[in-house]
Amino acid sequence: MKEIPTILSSQEILDKAFRRVKKVVITDLTGSRRAKAEAMGKLSALSNTITAVLNKYVKAFPSLDQIHPFDRELIDITVGLDELRHSLGAIDWARKTVETIRRAELSKMKSASIRSEITKILNSAYGRISSVMNRITKELEFLNVARDKLKDIPGINPDEIVVVVSGCPNVGKSQIVARISSGKPVIASYPFTTKGVTIGHMQMGYDRVQVMDTPGLLDRELDARNDIELQAIAALEHLANIVMFVFDASESCGYTIEAQKNLRDQIVATFSNVPIIMVCNKSDLAASDLGLNISAVTGEGIDILTSEIEKAIKNLNSA
């Protein structure tokens, strides 16, 4: 996710703006002319500070209509799309309203000639702007919480090829990711699972490939998942360019071949538009005709698996 600044409370924004107001001093005029120029300067300092801060917040968050569907689903799971849209909309409303108040009150000040009238207009503007800011207190609080949650989500580049590794628990998925990655994979935290997501990288010619093992998602049947997990799987459908399904023919993972086949069939149905590479890990314990025989422990067959991934990428690039 893009970097988002700390979101100040409505009172903190007002305090910041009024500190700017105190710095406005006119020394080259006298009388009512000085009072008018100073009042106009103070009002502009207040409104400009507030609108600049609010505009920065709106622009700092991802554009929800333009981001990749995976990121959009991830945001929905993490903080809620509707709540985020509402809060950002409220902040932008406040920005526009403060600017409208500034223009209207400056126009009144220009027509005023008595110092007391100018002061009254300025104080009225202060009150109206403060009232607007107080109306978005909850939205600013929500955005600050959302910011804290979103900044901790590891970045996945949807413009790069993504290989998603699936299969029953304990079949050796994370070991495979480590074997085929050019560097040490990272363990990342995502809101859709309490387990760490292993992310590795491969370099295939000009293509940088991201390899993901998502424990707790693509390792059991769909009817055993909650709504957030199902939504996360939908997000992965937007992200995955290639899916790898891993069998354990030795059944030392604790799942029978039949159970593994049932999961495979669901994965194939879910990712029906994505090329799927079938792999049998732990070939040092048992071989099978269910897929490419490899061993993440000994390294047997890893070069063949890498070639299959490269072949699938070439097919994607030529499509």
Question: Which pLDDT tens digit goes with each residue over 121-131?
Answer: 999 999 999 99
Question: Do residues 110 and 234 share a domain?
Answer: no
Q: Which of 186, 185, 174 is nearest to 297 (CA)?
A: 174
| Domains of the chain: total | 2
Chain position carrying tokens 């801060």: 53
Question: Do residues 136 and 167 share a domain?
Answer: no
Question: Do residues 177 and 284 share a domain?
Answer: yes
Find out whether 310 and 242 touch, Cβ atoms under 8 Å: no
Mean pLDDT of 153-180: 89
Mean pLDDT of 211-224: 78
Q: What distance in Å separates the CA atoms of residue 238 and residue 118, rounded to the nearest whole number?
A: 58
Q: Which residues pair with 165 in a beta bridge?
A: 213, 244
Provide the pLDDT confidence category of residue 192 given band limits of 50, 70 and 90.
Answer: low
Find out whether 170 and 248 touch, Cβ atoms under 8 Å: yes
CATH code for the domain in which residue 58 is found: 1.20.120.1190
3-state secondary structure of 215: coil
Tell me, yes or no, whether 5 lies in a domain.
no
Find out whether 66 and 3 touch, Cβ atoms under 8 Å: no
Provide the pLDDT confidence category of residue 193 given band limits of 50, 70 and 90.
Answer: low
pLDDT of residue 215: 78
Mean pLDDT of 206-233: 80
Last residue of a domain, one of 124, 150, 176: 150
Q: Check residue 293 and give left, alpha or beta (phi > 0: left; psi -120 to 50: alpha).
A: beta
Mean pLDDT of 192-220: 81
Question: Do residues 308 and 168 share a domain?
Answer: yes
Last residue of a domain, one of 109, 125, 150: 150
Question: Do residues 230 and 112 share a domain?
Answer: no
Tell me, yes or no, whether 4 lies in a domain.
no
pLDDT at residue 189 greater than cutoff 80: no
Q: What distance in Å separates the CA atoms of residue 305 and residue 47, rounded to the nearest whole number?
A: 61
- Is the model more confident about 54 or about 153? 54
Find out whether 282 and 252 touch, Cβ atoms under 8 Å: yes
CATH code for the domain in which residue 285 is found: 3.40.50.300
Tokens encoding 256: 């029978």
Q: What distance in Å separates the CA atoms of residue 277 and residue 291, rounded to the nearest whole number?
A: 8
Tell me, yes or no, whether 196 lies in a domain.
yes
DSSP 223: G
Provide the pLDDT confidence category of residue 284 given band limits of 50, 70 and 90.
Answer: confident
Question: Do residues 202 and 306 share a domain?
Answer: yes
Question: Do residues 173 and 287 share a domain?
Answer: yes
Find out whether 102 and 44 touch, Cβ atoms under 8 Å: yes
Q: What distance in Å separates the CA atoms of residue 82 and residue 100, rounded to the nearest whole number?
A: 27
Question: Do residues 241 and 309 share a domain?
Answer: yes
Question: Residue 44 is part of which domain span?
Answer: 10-150
Tell me, yes or no, whether 232 lies in a domain.
yes
53 CB neighbour count, 10 Å cutoff: 18
Q: Which of 277, 296, 156 is nearest to 212 (CA)?
A: 156
Find out whether 98 and 52 touch, Cβ atoms under 8 Å: no
Chain position carrying tokens 């554009």: 63
pLDDT of residue 122: 96
pLDDT of residue 170: 92
Last residue of a domain, one of 150, 175, 206: 150
Q: Tell me the average pLDDT of the chain.
A: 90
Q: What distance in Å separates the CA atoms of residue 154 and residue 212, rounded to the nearest whole number?
A: 12
Distance of CA 2 to the CA centre of its chain: 7
